[in-house]
Amino acid sequence: MTLALAAWAYLLWSGMDGLLAIEARHVSGYPAWGQLVLYAGLPAMALTLLIVSSIVARRTRWFYDLYPFVVGLLGFALFPTLLVWGGGV
């Protein structure tokens, strides 16, 4: 979980840094809604899900068995996210 957590935290940090840099240039229309979702929303959602699933897995027995699946799913979700992270127009 630590590797997936660190990767999503880094994506959130670098995404917010990029969005703030775009905002500082005062270009009309930027940052666009899609940029906000990709660079801030998606990493924040994944990071929140990892933290909440860790807490729930420690407190409830039924979720303890699903916890590796959730971490693996969010770890696997890094690959498609990284494919579109730096490319495109």
* pLDDT at residue 2 is higher than 60: yes
Tens digit of pLDDT for each residue in 20-77?
998 898 888 888 898 899 999 999 999 999 999 999 999 998 888 889 999 999 999 9
pLDDT for 9 beyond 60: yes
CA atoms within a 13 Å half-sphere pointing along the CA-CB vector of 77:
18
- Dihedral sign computed on CA atoms, order 34, 51, 77, 84: positive
